[in-house]
Amino acid sequence: MVADARTTTERPAPANKLSEPERQLILEVANSVEFASLPPSQIVPTLADRGQYVASESSFYRVLRSASQQHHRGRARKPSARVVTSHCATGPNQVWSWDITWMPAEIKGQYYYWYMMLDVFSRKIVGHEVHRAESAELAALLMRRSSLAEGLAGRPLVLHSDNGGPMKGATMLATLENLGVVASFSRPRVSNDNPYAESLFRTCKYRPDYPRQAFGSVDEARAWTQRFVRWYNHEHKHSGLKFVTPAQRHSGISAAVLAQREAVYAEAKARTPERWSGSTRNWSLADKVWLNPERIEPAELKQVA
């Protein structure tokens, strides 16, 4: 016999459906003085130990949810999921990333600390200093100087960092608030949430001219970082920027540089078309740069692509 598949057909209620008195009993038990602070996973075993069975654990959860009572129970603060955000830069001075790296000193166990701020869109180092210590006060001072140098007064900016002490110190956070800068932090115990700054430090320390010996003084460390920043910003053709320099990308002249390259390639193809099996090299740069794109929902990633 074929079952009636019409949606308008009246069907008997399932035999295992809870009755209204049974639902009320579940709510009364869950809201009693004894169990008001306990979840169903604790209530059901406790009742079973007394030889009582009111309903299954899943039924308790289902009834509480339908009564809008499926929430955190107890005095302890509800575990809060940390808000994870991705930030998109469509131009310079919208999203910065910063970090501190250690530079070895001659005295064993002593280090100098290189504070560095990087623009995520252009990869330009917008501020840096070397100090003998790590502190939120020194970080705040660098932030003020970098903001002034880039003319950021009144302009929105996101500053991303890890969760180190100088990054989350009261002085640094107060400075960011005064400047109107939104602080963004890496997820706890996630080592690759600050990729731009970490990648730059790796580039720095694998440079052929990076000293093999420790720095003799803080002034020596400062002089080396000044040379590196000058090279990185104005001479280094960045592989992530279609081989234009960070300074060219930051200033906006990269579009003209890349357009010139396209013209050169087009002319070369027109001159000897038999040597080209397809289109010329793609020199276009993406107009959006995401910080930690793995955090974006799949649908949003498709739009970015």
Is the pLDDT confidence value at 255 over 70? yes
How many structural domains does the chain have? 3
The answer to the question of residue 75 being in a domain is no
| Band (215; pLDDT cuts 50, 70, 90) | very high
**Domain match, 253 and 226 both:** no
Q: Is residue 2 part of a domain?
A: no
CB contact at 8 A, 194 and 97? yes
Which tens digits make up the pLDDT trace of 35-65? Answer: 888 888 888 888 888 888 888 888 888 898 8
In a 10 Å sphere around its CB, with 0-12 CB exposed, 13-18 middle and 19+ buried, how is residue 202 labelled? exposed
Segment 55-109, tens digit of pLDDT: 888 888 889 888 888 776 656 565 555 545 588 999 999 999 999 999 999 988 8
Position 104 scores a pLDDT of 93
Tell whether 263 is covered by a domain. Answer: yes
Whether residue 117 lies inside any domain: the answer is yes
134 with 231, same domain: the answer is yes
* Whether the Cβ atoms of residue 240 and residue 123 lie closer than 8 Å to each other: yes
Distance CA 182, CA 140 (A): 14
Classify residue 186 as exposed, middle or buried by CB count within 10 Å of its CB (0-12, 13-18, 19+): buried
Q: Tell me the per-residue pLDDT of 174-211, one tens digit each, with 9 for 90 and over.
A: 999 999 999 988 876 666 678 888 889 888 888 888 88
Describe the strand order of the beta sheet including 95-104 as a list of residue ranges: 125-131, 111-119, 95-104, 157-161, 181-185
- Coil, strand or helix: which one is 302? helix
Given 235, 268, 284, the domain boundary residue is 235
For residue 169, give the CATH number of its domain.
3.30.420.10
User: Residue 257's pLDDT is what?
Assistant: 93
Mark whether 219 and 267 lie in a shared domain: no
Higher pLDDT pick, 304 / 156: 156
> Where a domain ends, among 235, 259, 284?
235
Q: What is the pLDDT of residue 141?
A: 96
Q: Say if residue 52 is in the same domain as residue 182.
A: no
CA angle 44, 50, 54 (to 5 degrees): 45
* Domain hosting residue 30, numbered range: 20-66
Predicted TM-score (pTM) of the model is 0.69
